[in-house]
């Protein structure tokens, strides 16, 4: 019997057996952009963002704040790190900072991700508004990224700028570029003078003006800054411990020209700065002759790998085989060496006057042409595009544990860039973006397809460093556009089998996993299911959902604590200042949306409404800022927590996804059946839908959730289809629908869709009434810890106390079970209430007020209809109180039904010894005598 084929062999066979279409326009820069083809597995179809216009409502102001931010932010700042990596001019732009900095700034190992988010945000902004300014900004960014890829494909080229004397060569910080001199440059000299003009732009320690050596044992160097921040020259044949050195006493100024010179002869070394001797050592016995012929003679690069590459501008560099006099050194300040008494260096002389190419001429007469190089060489494939060297990807392949200070999720960053490019193509019709995206995937396939399966499994299982975000979804989307078999094969190379197999078997192994590293894995699996039909992927995604929602979900729709999941069902036990990472909500929304497109279980849209109207809206601050998008990272659920809208120095993953969320609020309001026979209304939101295939418009007019209902007006042409209206699970009774003022028959079931089948005509009006009910949701592991909802809206207490508030809510509960009568409305402020002197407000309001999302339920006495029975409210061992059990029977059609419930519960509790007979009688009497609102 033949051995089974490995997954790798199957993938390679699939590629060989498939003829992939050529990417349109790859050679000409032109391509035909079209909406992403809908997979056949989707029983529903979404609408494009431009098909759904956002009207005035709770989303409008927040969206406008983000649109203004996208319109005004300098995109050259986002492109700075890309241009730097390619050795291109950064145009004086300053990177955004935070996670979008270069090496040594916070942690720049994720740089480039935010640019991808911004591209998506701008693309969606154009898709949703049609405002040309966003398309123009997208095209500007795509143009720049195209130039970056072109530069990365070739050898580094000189960046010529104005120098100290004529032209000079700039080394952009982040380019990892240096100048390589031929090995004979020192010429075995027993005496030497080194002379260099430099204009440093960054104050990093140990950046080299020059470093000539074989390794970290035998070398000489001149650094702009030593441990004290001052210039240093050293020579050694015995490593750092054997260095004979010269140290200046003051730092070189940044962004100013400085002249450094070193003379070494007869046992004496002298260091000059701007013509003045600043250090002398008369015990320097080593000379270049003692070093011999060295293999690596570098300008700007150190033999110590941890040292930074010189960042700044360099002009004349000269070397003489003698010690120049002090007067000759002074004269070098006045002009080019050739015009001074010293003349050009006889060992080496580089003017750096070149304005093109990657080499520098030597005017010493020795013909020692120097070459501009990158420390990391160059990309392994022409499709490579990133804001840092490919070394991040290479090093990951040998890592066995995570270390984000060394390698921080390079494929996650690649995903954000890839996604942004795809969105630029899909929304802005930029064919160059598709070409860049396709090239990136060709490059990734060229790397990953060569690795053994065991290596891939190890990589993807590494926390943080191996995180790859939603790259599988993006690659599958690209495959749907290009049809290239390699792209589909690439998507499958990210399979994390251990996780997929566990979820497919419905085995919950999530405890201890990083939440946002794994949620987007499952959107990718769904797209793989779409492309391959492999049921394992769909089953895993479906089961995963039920492991998170609701077992690991907070009331606002968020998940994770400190970015990780804990044990299933533990909610109260995980509440802290670092709960509910905003990226997790973003990705759960995407996953729920995609699951609903496959199978119309209302629970997915129930969650969508919860997370969108609470965490996502509440994660965006309600004020403008030109510098930051003002989006939370974590949302602490501890008492008195104040939301932080400027987290972690800015440019985090959550600020990136927050920008995206604010420009696609409308993406799931409506879906249509694949055959066009039905229209799903998933969210009640002021919008206007243009359903082009039917020639129909649907205008939804509402102030939901400040209004308890919505009005839908049909326009366009006559068309027959089913209108399927979502009936929220939290609405228990009173959901009503009229068409042209006539009630539609049928009993809408909470947590379902109410269907109206008819031929619709222009002017038809559908009125949906959705009565809200105020209720609590209990923490799964601590029923006494609760959060308050009014309809879909989470109401949070605004109170500076850092202890859980003790609240009672049953005192004036309505016969329906609605807790609203216990609260007092705040006049003129919809959805604002007070209780016991504390204001309750919608979580969706992005303020910096201290809030209490959860409170401790405390009802020491049995109070019914506002009347105190005088009887203590007993509790079972699980924390359930007598009042809890009474009101669990709501709604009550009449007062008599409530009294009957009270009698039944009291009898049970008395017989269980939890309540005395006299106390029971008093509770029943109170119920009989009290008055209640319906």
CB 799 within 8 A of CB 805: yes
Of the chain, the end-to-end C-alpha distance in Å amounts to 75
Chain segment 209-233, per-residue pLDDT in tens: 999 999 999 999 999 999 999 999 9
| Percent residues over pLDDT 90 in the chain | 94
Coil, helix or strand at residue 788: strand
pLDDT at 568: 98
CB 852 within 8 A of CB 803: no
Instruction: Report the distance separating Cα 433 and Cα 440, nearest Å.
Output: 11
Instruction: Report the distance separating Cα 737 and Cα 769, nearest Å.
Output: 6
Instruction: Report the distance separating Cα 416 and Cα 83, nearest Å.
Output: 17
Neighbours of 121 (CB within 10 A): 29
Instruction: Report the distance separating Cα 491 and Cα 471, nearest Å.
Output: 8
H/E stretch holding 485: helix 485-492
Neighbours of 603 (CB within 10 A): 16
Task: Please identify which residue in the block is written with the tokens 């028959």.
Answer: 745
Instruction: Report the distance separating Cα 527 and Cα 540, nearest Å.
Output: 12
Sign for the pseudo-dihedral over CA of 897, 900, 906, 907: negative
Give the pair of three-digit tokens for residue 96.
């955004």
Task: Please identify which residue in the block is written with the tokens 């209990």.
Answer: 778
Q: Is 140 exposed, middle or buried (0-12, 13-18, 19+ CB in 10 A)?
A: middle
Coil, helix or strand at residue 840: strand
Neighbours of 365 (CB within 10 A): 11
How much is the average pLDDT of 190-200?
Answer: 98
**Within 13 Å of residue 444, how many CA atoms lie on the same side as its CB?**
31
Instruction: Report the distance separating Cα 248 and Cα 225, nearest Å.
Output: 9
CB 363 within 8 A of CB 166: no
Give the distance, in angstroms, between the CA of residue 154 and the centroid of all CA atoms in the same chain. Answer: 30
Instruction: Report the distance separating Cα 562 and Cα 637, nearest Å.
Output: 12
Q: Which residues pair with 818 in a beta bridge?
A: none
Chain segment 791-827, per-residue pLDDT in tens: 999 999 999 999 999 999 999 999 999 999 999 999 9
Pairing of strands 806-807, 855-857: parallel
Pairing of strands 719-727, 678-681: parallel
Cis amide leading into 324 (omega within 30): no
What contacts 678, CB < 8 A, 6 or more positions away?
Answer: 672, 721, 722, 723, 724, 755
Chain segment 56-66, per-residue pLDDT in tens: 999 999 999 99
What's 275's DSSP letter? T
Chain segment 821-843, per-residue pLDDT in tens: 999 999 999 999 999 999 999 99
Q: What share of the chain is helix, strand, coil (3-state, %, to 5)?
A: 30, 20, 45
Instruction: Report the distance separating Cα 426 and Cα 218, nearest Å.
Output: 56
How much is the average pLDDT of 489-498?
Answer: 98
Neighbours of 740 (CB within 10 A): 10
What's 806's DSSP letter? E
Beta strands in 240-374 (DSSP E): 244-247, 258-265, 268-273, 276-281, 296-299, 312-320, 348-350, 359-360, 370-374
Give the pair of three-digit tokens for residue 690.
């243009």
Give the pair of three-digit tokens for residue 284.
């320097």
Q: Which residues pair with 670 in a beta bridge?
A: 681
Say if residue 69's pLDDT is above 80: yes
Q: How far is CA 663 from CA 139, 186, 617, in A?
A: 18, 60, 12
Sign for the pseudo-dihedral over CA of 62, 65, 70, 74: negative
Residue 103 pLDDT class (50, 70, 90 cuts): confident
Please report the DSSP string for 64-85 in residue order: HHHHHHHHHS-HHHHHHHHHHH
Say if residue 12's pLDDT is above 50: no
What's 826's DSSP letter? P
Residue 15 pLDDT class (50, 70, 90 cuts): very low
Beta strands in 268-418 (DSSP E): 268-273, 276-281, 296-299, 312-320, 348-350, 359-360, 370-374
Say if residue 115's pLDDT is above 60: yes
Residue 34 pLDDT class (50, 70, 90 cuts): low
Residue 105 pLDDT class (50, 70, 90 cuts): confident
Say if residue 486's pLDDT is above 60: yes
CB 748 within 8 A of CB 519: no
- Count H helices and E strands in the chain, helices first: 23, 39
Q: Which domains does the chain have, with CATH numbers?
A: 171-374 (2.60.120.200), 670-769 (2.60.40), 861-934 (no CATH)
Q: Please, what is the average pLDDT of the chain? A: 95
Chain segment 641-652, per-residue pLDDT in tens: 999 999 988 899
């Amino acid at each position: 019997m033949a051995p089974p084929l490995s997954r790798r062999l199957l993938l390679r066979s699939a590629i060989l057996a498939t003829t992939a279409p050529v990417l349109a326009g790859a050679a000409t820069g032109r391509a035909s952009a079209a909406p992403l083809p809908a997979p056949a597995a989707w029983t529903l179809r979404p609408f494009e963002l431009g098909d759904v216009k956002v009207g005035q409502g709770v989303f409008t102001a927040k969206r406008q704040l983000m649109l203004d931010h996208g319109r005004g932010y300098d995109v050259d700042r986002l492109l700075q790190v890309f241009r730097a990596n390619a050795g291109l001019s950064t145009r004086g732009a300053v990177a955004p900072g935070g996670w979008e900095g270069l090496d040594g700034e916070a942690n720049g190992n994720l740089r480039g991700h935010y640019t991808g988010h911004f591209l998506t945000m701008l693309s969606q902004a154009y898709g949703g508004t049609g405002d040309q300014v966003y398309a123009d900004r997208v095209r500007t960014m795509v143009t720049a990224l195209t130039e970056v890829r072109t530069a990365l494909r070739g050898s580094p080229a000189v960046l010529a700028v104005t120098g100290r004397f004529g032209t000079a060569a700039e080394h952009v910080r982040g380019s990892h570029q240096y100048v390589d001199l031929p090995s004979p440059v020192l010429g075995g000299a027993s005496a030497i003078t080194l002379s260099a003009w430099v204009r440093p732009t960054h104050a990093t320690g140990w950046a080299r003006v020059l470093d000539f050596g074989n390794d970290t044992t035998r070398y000489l160097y001149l650094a702009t800054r030593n441990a004290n921040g001052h210039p240093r020259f050293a020579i050694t044949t015995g490593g750092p411990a054997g260095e004979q050195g010269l140290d200046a006493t003051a730092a070189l100024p940044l962004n100013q020209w400085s002249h450094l010179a070193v003379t070494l002869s007869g046992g004496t070394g002298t260091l000059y700065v701007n013509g003045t001797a600043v250090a002398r050592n008369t015990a320097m016995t080593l000379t270049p002759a003692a070093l011999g012929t060295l293999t690596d003679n570098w300008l700007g690069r150190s033999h110590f790998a941890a040292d930074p590459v010189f960042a700044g501008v360099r002009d004349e560099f000269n070397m003489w085989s003698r010690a120049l006099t002090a007067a000759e050194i002074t004269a070098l300040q006045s002009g080019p060496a050739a015009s001074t008494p010293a003349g050009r260096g006889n060992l080496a002389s580089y003017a750096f006057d070149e304005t093109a190419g990657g080499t520098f001429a030597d005017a010493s007469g020795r013909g020692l042409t120097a070459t501009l190089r990158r420390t990391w060489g160059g990309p392994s494939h022409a499709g490579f595009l990133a804001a840092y060297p490919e070394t991040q990807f290479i090093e990951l392949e040998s890592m066995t544990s995570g270390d984000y200070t060394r390698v921080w999720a390079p494929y996650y960053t690649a995903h954000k860039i890839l996604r942004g490019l795809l969105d630029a193509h899909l929304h802005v019709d930029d064919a160059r973006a598709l070409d860049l995206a396709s090239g990136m995937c060709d490059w990734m396939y060229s790397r990953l397809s060569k690795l053994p399966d065991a290596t891939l499994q190890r990589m993807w299982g590494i926390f943080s460093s191996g995180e790859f975000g939603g790259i599988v979804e993006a690659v599958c989307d690209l495959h749907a556009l290009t049809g290239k078999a390699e792209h589909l094969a690439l998507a499958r190379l990210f399979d994390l089998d251990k996780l997929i197999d566990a979820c497919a078997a419905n085995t919950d192994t999530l405890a201890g996993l990083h939440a946002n590293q794994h949620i987007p894995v499952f959107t990718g699996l769904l797209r793989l299911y779409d492309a391959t039909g492999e049921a394992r992927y769909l089953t895993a995604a479906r089961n995963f959902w039920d492991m998170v929602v609701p077992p690991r979900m907070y009331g606002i729709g968020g998940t994770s604590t400190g970015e990780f999941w804990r044990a299933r069902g533990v909610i109260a036990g995980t509440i802290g200042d670092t709960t509910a990472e905003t990226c997790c909500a973003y990705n759960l929304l995407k996953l729920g949306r995609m699951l609903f497109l496959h199978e119309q279980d209302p629970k997915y849209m129930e969650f969508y409404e919860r997370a969108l109207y609470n965490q996502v809206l509440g994660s965006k601050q309600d004020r403008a800022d030109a510098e930051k998008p003002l989006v939370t990272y974590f949302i602490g659920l501890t008492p008195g927590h104040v939301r932080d809208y400027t987290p972690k120095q800015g440019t985090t993953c959550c600020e990136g996804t927050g920008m995206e969320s604010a420009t696609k609020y409308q993406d799931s309001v409506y879906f249509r059946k694949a055959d066009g026979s039905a229209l799903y209304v998933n969210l009640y939101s002021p919008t206007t839908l243009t359903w082009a295939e039917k020639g129909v418009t649907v205008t939804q007019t509402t102030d939901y959730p400040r209004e308890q209902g919505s009005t839908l007006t049909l326009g366009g042409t006559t068309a027959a289809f089913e209108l399927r209206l979502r009936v929220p699970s939290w609405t228990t009774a009173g959901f009503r629908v009229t068409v042209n003022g006539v009630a539609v028959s049928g009993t809408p079931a909470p947590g379902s869709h109410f269907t109206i089948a008819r031929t619709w005509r222009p002017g038809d009006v559908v009125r949906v009434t959705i009565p809200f009910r105020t209720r609590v949701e209990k923490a799964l592991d601590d029923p006494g810890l609760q959060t308050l909802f009014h309809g879909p809206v989470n109401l949070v207490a605004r109170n500076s106390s850092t202890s859980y508030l003790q609240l009672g809510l049953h005192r004036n509960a309505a016969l329906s079970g609605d807790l609203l009568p216990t609260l007092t409305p705040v006049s003129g402020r919809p959805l604002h209430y007070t209780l016991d002197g504390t204001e309750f407000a919608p979580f969706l309001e992005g303020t910096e007020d201290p809030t209490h999302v959860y409170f401790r339920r405390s009802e020491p006495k049995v109070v019914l209809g506002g009347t105190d029975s005088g009887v203590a409210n007993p509790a079972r061992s699980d924390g359930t109180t007598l009042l809890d059990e009474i009101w669990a029977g709501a709604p009550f059609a009449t007062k008599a039904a409530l009294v009957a419930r009270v009698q039944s519960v009291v009898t049970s509790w008395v017989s269980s010894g939890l309540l005395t007979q006299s106390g029971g009688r008093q509770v029943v009497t109170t119920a009989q005598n009290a008055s209640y609102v319906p």
